């Protein structure tokens, strides 16, 4: 199977490059920029893309790949920093530009037969993000296109199949970016379309059966997209030797436990074990207000609950998880652009070591949109596949401050009203997430002729493609009015509803 390698130099768009190519049914893998040429060759790479990045090639210690990649005899495409890097390493010259290019630019194609620009109009809109510029090209290269401030917006060395772009073809703001990437993977690299979900399912089932043999697997089922698709795939591969454990941690939404039991027991014939550990979780969380401390406490209790479940089931050798490709890509920490931990991952860390289990992650090569496509192939319903994301710690990170039964109950009722109205307005599946947050704030109000001093609920409604960035959704005023009125009138203990109109970045989607 053809593989396009994307060497990651810390660009915020690296995953977008890989996703765009996979959308064209070609397998793409992201590699750390230090990956050796020998490893890439051994994995059968048929083309290499050098990503952008926050560093400058002029800075001392700026990241460099193994120079051997230019001797593998496979096509190479450098994007932004990747182009400047290739130019520098192959004998060209890069300098600091007096006029930096960020945002929109206008591309002018200066040659009619560049393989990378086939089908691209003579002028089009592109998206730039760079402060350096190429001053002279390496031997063998020639200009293919320019922008207002860059004479070398696209360059080529046709003899060696080396190409470079100063702009970002992977982002939607570049008008013909997908065509440019397709020109590279199909026209230059001669890849075939062989990355399909049906093919992936066949390969994954075979690998699961070979790995598991006649042993048993346990999987923590949350009811979300990732764990549901992982469960369906594992069940198709090994049947009754999979046991799914759904943990009621006391932090679920209204009616969640009953919905999950009915959905998976009735429709999928899974071995489903439901564990009510709500008292254990809430006792552990009592008095904890720091968000990260909450997440860690919840993770520790999950370990204890799973230990008990495994002992009850017996003879379990594998832990299944719905880990996705973005979770396993090695992060690139470039000087001046530190990769800070925003929040700990919601997957239950430490389980394999503590329980002496082997980890089984059948979705670890897939992005979120691919997981949904896989789930559709397996016959999962829209209700499961397009359910909005729900954090692993549940309402524990949507009750700001101390977690109490009273606060959780208030939040559940408010959240149920919001969800009902999102469905009624036809908005639920159009939004990435829509949920309520309980604020540890009490405000004065008037209900009837009486003064009230009650709690505040915040509405968080966002649009996004992959949660890497998000913008607040501009919901019709009449819908917001209905939601606000219903929450204040129907949820005892709430007298004020506010709307969060923050984008990501700088805010995160979840409040904690």
pLDDT value at residue 248 = 93
Q: Are residues 403 and 361 in the same domain?
A: no
Task: Return the axis-axis angle of helices 477-490 and 405-424, rounded to nearest 10°.
Answer: 150
Q: In this structure, is residue 193 part of a structural domain?
A: no
Q: Are residues 340 and 416 in the same domain?
A: no
Here the tokens at position 176 are: 């013909």
Q: Are residues 464 and 410 in the same domain?
A: yes
Strand partners, 334: 337
Alpha-carbon span 66 to 49, nearest angstrom = 13
Residue for token pair 């909450």: 294
Q: In this structure, is residue 412 part of a structural domain?
A: yes
Q: In this structure, is residue 392 part of a structural domain?
A: no
Q: Are residues 266 and 304 in the same domain?
A: yes
Here the tokens at position 220 are: 């923590």
Q: Are residues 492 and 350 in the same domain?
A: no
**CATH, residue 89:** 3.40.50.880
Q: Are residues 173 and 285 in the same domain?
A: no
Q: Are residues 51 and 115 in the same domain?
A: yes
Alpha-carbon span 50 to 37, nearest angstrom = 13
**CATH, residue 484:** 3.30.300.10
pLDDT value at residue 315 = 82
Domain end marker among 364, 385, 406: 385
Q: Are residues 237 and 379 in the same domain?
A: yes
Q: In this structure, is residue 219 part of a structural domain?
A: yes
pLDDT value at residue 232 = 93
First to last CA, the chain: 42
- Domain count for the chain, please give it: 3
Residue for token pair 């062989």: 194
pLDDT value at residue 469 = 77
Q: In this structure, is residue 303 part of a structural domain?
A: yes
Alpha-carbon span 487 to 489, nearest angstrom = 6
Q: In this structure, is residue 393 part of a structural domain?
A: no
Q: In this structure, is residue 508 part of a structural domain?
A: no
Q: In this structure, is residue 505 part of a structural domain?
A: no
pLDDT value at residue 100 = 54
Residue 427's Cβ-count burial label (10 Å; 0-12, 13-18, 19+) is: middle
Give yes or no for a contact between 457 and 435, defined as CB atoms under 8 angstroms apart. Answer: no
Q: Are residues 378 and 409 in the same domain?
A: no
pLDDT value at residue 13 = 84
Domain end marker among 348, 363, 385: 385
pLDDT value at residue 340 = 38
Give phi and psi for 61, each to the nearest 5: 80, 10
Per-residue pLDDT of the chain (512 residues; tens, 9 = 90+): 789 999 999 888 898 899 999 999 999 999 999 999 999 999 999 999 999 888 888 888 899 999 999 999 999 999 999 999 999 999 999 887 655 555 678 899 988 899 999 999 999 888 876 567 888 999 999 999 988 777 888 999 999 999 999 999 998 888 899 999 999 999 999 999 999 999 999 999 999 999 999 999 999 888 889 999 999 999 999 999 999 999 999 999 999 999 888 877 766 778 899 999 999 999 999 999 998 899 999 988 988 888 888 888 878 899 999 888 877 776 565 544 433 343 444 444 445 456 678 889 999 989 888 999 999 999 888 888 898 988 888 999 999 999 999 999 999 999 999 999 999 999 999 999 999 999 999 999 887 767 888 999 999 999 987 677 789 999 999 999 999 999 999 999 999 999 999 998 888 899 98
Neighbours of 501 (CB within 10 A): 13
Alpha-carbon span 221 to 244, nearest angstrom = 6
pLDDT value at residue 471 = 92
Q: Are residues 100 and 165 in the same domain?
A: yes
Q: Are residues 181 and 214 in the same domain?
A: no
Give phi and psi for 450, each to the nearest 5: -110, 145
**CATH, residue 219:** 3.40.50.620
In 189-237, DSSP assigns E strands to 216-220
Q: Which residues are catalytically annotated?
A: 80, 168, 170
Give yes or no for a contact between 253 and 420, defined as CB atoms under 8 angstroms apart. Answer: no
Looking only at Cα atoms, what is the longest distance across the chain?
84
Alpha-carbon span 469 to 292, nearest angstrom = 21
Strand partners, 462: 433, 472
- Domain range enclosing 329: 207-385
Q: Are residues 350 and 432 in the same domain?
A: no
């Amino acid at each position: 199977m053809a593989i396009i390698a994307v060497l990651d130099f810390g660009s915020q768009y690296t995953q977008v490059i890989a996703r765009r190519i996979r959308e064209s049914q070609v397998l793409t893998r992201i590699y750390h920029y230090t990956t050796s040429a020998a490893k890439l060759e051994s994995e059968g790479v048929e083309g290499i893309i050098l990503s952008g990045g926050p560093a400058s090639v002029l800075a001392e210690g700026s990241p460099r790949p193994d120079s051997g990649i230019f001797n593998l005899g496979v096509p190479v495409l450098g994007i932004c920093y990747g182009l400047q890097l290739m130019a520098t390493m192959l004998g060209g010259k890069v300098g600091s530009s007096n006029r930096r290019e960020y945002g929109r630019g206008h591309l002018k194609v200066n040659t009619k037969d560049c393989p990378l620009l086939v089908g691209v109009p003579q002028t089009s809109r592109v998206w730039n993000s760079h402060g350096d510029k190429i001053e002279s090209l390496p031997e063998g290269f020639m200009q293919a296109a320019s922008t207002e401030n860059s004479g070398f917006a696209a360059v080529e060395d046709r003899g060696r199949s080396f190409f470079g772009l100063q702009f970002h073809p992977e982002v939607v703001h570049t008008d013909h970016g997908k065509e440019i990437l397709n020109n590279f993977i199909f026209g230059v690299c001669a890849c075939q379309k062989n990355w399909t979900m049906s093919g992936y399912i066949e390969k994954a089932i075979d690998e699961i059966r070979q790995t598991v043999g006649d042993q048993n697997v346990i999987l923590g089922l949350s009811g979300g997209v990732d764990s549901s698709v992982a469960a369906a795939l594992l069940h198709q591969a090994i049947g009754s030797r999979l046991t799914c454990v759904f943990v009621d941690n006391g932090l679920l939404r209204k009616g969640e436990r009953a919905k999950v039991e009915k959905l998976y027991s009735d429709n999928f014939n899974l071995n489903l074990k439901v564990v009510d550990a709500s008292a254990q979780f809430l006792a552990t969380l009592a008095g904890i207000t720091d968000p990260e401390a909450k997440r860690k406490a919840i993770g520790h209790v999950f370990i204890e609950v799973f230990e008990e479940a495994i002992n009850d089931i017996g003879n379990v050798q594998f832990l299944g998880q719905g880990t996705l490709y973005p979770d396993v890509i090695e992060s690139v920490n470039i000087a001046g652009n530190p990769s800070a931990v925003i929040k700990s991952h919601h997957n239950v860390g430490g389980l394999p070591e503590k329980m002496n289990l082997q980890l089984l992650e059948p979705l670890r090569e897939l992005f979120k949109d691919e997981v949904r496509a896989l789930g559709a192939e397996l016959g999962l319903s829209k209700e499961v596949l397009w359910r909005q994301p729900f954090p692993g710690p549940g309402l524990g990170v949507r009750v700001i401050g101390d977690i109490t039964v009273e606060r959780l109950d208030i939040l559940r009722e408010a959240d149920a009203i919001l969800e009902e109205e999102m469905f009624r307005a036809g908005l639920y599946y159009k939004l990435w997430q829509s949920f309520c947050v309980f604020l540890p704030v009490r405000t004065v109000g008037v209900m009837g002729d009486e003064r009230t001093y009650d709690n505040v609920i915040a509405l968080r409604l966002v649009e996004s493609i992959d949660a890497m960035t998000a913008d607040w959704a501009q919901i019709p005023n009449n819908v917001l009015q209905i939601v606000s009125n219903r929450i204040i009138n129907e949820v005892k203990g709430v007298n004020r509803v506010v709307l969060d109109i923050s984008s990501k970045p700088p805010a995160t989607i979840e409040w904690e």
